[in-house]
Amino acid sequence: MELLLRVLSMSATIPDVAAQVAQAVVQDNVSRVQVPALLASANSWDATLVDVLLGLACGPAGMPILEHELQGLLDECSQIPQMAMGGPAPLSMHNAVAAFISRLQSHLYHGLLPSCVVALCRFLYVAAEVRFSVLAAQNAVVTLLVSCVITPRLLGVAQRPHGPYVKELTTLLQRVSHFAHYDDTGEDLRQNRLAAGPGDLEQVLQHVAAFRDLVWRVLEMDVDRSLGLVPSADDADNAARWLVQTSQHWVASGQEQLASAARPLANLTVPTASNGSHRFPAFASNSAAAAAGAAADGTLVLDTRNALLPAHGWHHGDGGVGGGP
């Protein structure tokens, strides 16, 4: 997580590069999983990417509209009479969740989701559609929103003492996320009551359908390739210093695979302090002059101004993926 945080902090200062980094992480994760149900799970790289990007883009301010709606959902559930633990969620809780999803749809174009979340939804959908199917991609984005965005924010809002309804509510959201990966009608679940668990399957499937509709609306939104990150030269400099020093440590560790990947970064010179700030060697007016200067002081200079970043095949045929590298 620390490595991803540092890389994104550094790349945020270069137009479009942070988006390419995030997209590469999503695509790599999609390429590695064997079944779509594993996409965007709570312990996946997608979840880590969401946490890092939200921390960088939102900071202490968080997601005020979503958190306000989550507080309203908690307040509604707090009025529910004592419920039987482990059984189906009461109808009043299902009604509260349905109203919550409806409110999310009404807020969608008024800053409900940060730019980074909208972009990740698009990146995940496009990669999963190519690897699996349209429905699997849609379901993966439902899981991303429910498991990686909404549920963690719910638990954060519920830090003050609450009744047992908090556990029941999070369990219900987890079931929505889980059952989103079944077919779009839920017919296979209806034929296997054991897999369906408690007897509120129909209500859960209604929530899944509502979240799928929300996903389509999210995917229609424009993608901000800046991811909503605010570039900071100091943060980028500190991140670059950390990357070089950490790479040098990895090379010295003797772990061959890790050292091999880290060696190009480890060969860079750690930025030097100048007037209280860290500084990487600046480019000269042309590559030849830069190389000559580097040879004089032993600094390895990489001229990437005209280098092409690798394209990962994500520009989909519908042209709606934000342009592509």
Domain count, the chain: 2
Residue 83 has pLDDT above 70, yes or no: no
Confidence of residue 267 (pLDDT cuts 50, 70, 90): confident
Would you say residue 159 lies in a domain?
Answer: yes
Q: Given a cut of 50, is residue 321 above it in pLDDT?
A: no
H or E stretch covering 219: helix 201-219
Confidence of residue 235 (pLDDT cuts 50, 70, 90): confident
Report whether pLDDT(177) > 70.
Answer: yes
- For residues 76-101, give the mean pLDDT: 81
Q: Give the closest residue to 207 by CA, choosing from 311, 96, 124.
A: 96
- In this predicted structure, what is the pLDDT of residue 161? 56
DSSP percent split of the chain into helix, strand, coil, nearest 5: 65, 0, 35
pLDDT in tens, 277-292: 444 443 333 434 434 4
Distance (Å, whole) CA 208 – CA 318: 26
- pLDDT reading at 312 higher than 60: no
Higher pLDDT, 317 or 207: 207
Instruction: Clarify whether residues 45 and 96 are in a common domain.
Output: yes
Coil, strand or helix at 272: strand
d(CA 177, CA 141): 10
DSSP 38: G
d(CA 194, CA 206): 19
174 and 275: one domain? Answer: no
- Mean pLDDT over 74-97 rounds to 79
125 forms beta bridges with none
Judge if 27 and 161 occupy the same domain. Answer: yes
Amino acid at 323: G
Note whether residue 313 is domain-resident: no
Alpha carbon distance 117, 241 (integer Å): 28
Residue 279's domain comprises 233-297
Cα(125)–Cα(240) distance, rounded to whole angstroms?
A: 31
Q: Which residues of 216-233 are buried (b: 16+ CB within 10 A; e: fewer)?
A: eebbeeebebbbbbeeee
* Co-location of 177 and 200 in the same domain: yes
Which residues touch 56 (CB under 8 Å, ≥6 apart)?
A: 5, 8, 9, 12, 116, 229
Residue 173 sits in the same domain as residue 49: yes
How large is the average pLDDT for residues 288-317?
39
What is the rounded average pLDDT for all residues in the chain? 78
Residues 249 and 141 in one domain: no
DSSP code of 150?
I
Q: Same domain for 166 and 111?
A: yes
Q: pTM of the prediction? A: 0.76
For residues 108 and 175, membership in a common domain is answered with yes
CA dihedral of residues 148, 182, 119, 10 (deg, nearest 10)? 50
pLDDT band of residue 84 (cuts 50, 70, 90) is low
DSSP 35: S
In a domain, 325, yes or no: no
Tell me what pLDDT residue 256 has. 73
Specify whether 167 is located in the same domain as 269.
no
Mean pLDDT of 133-157: 92
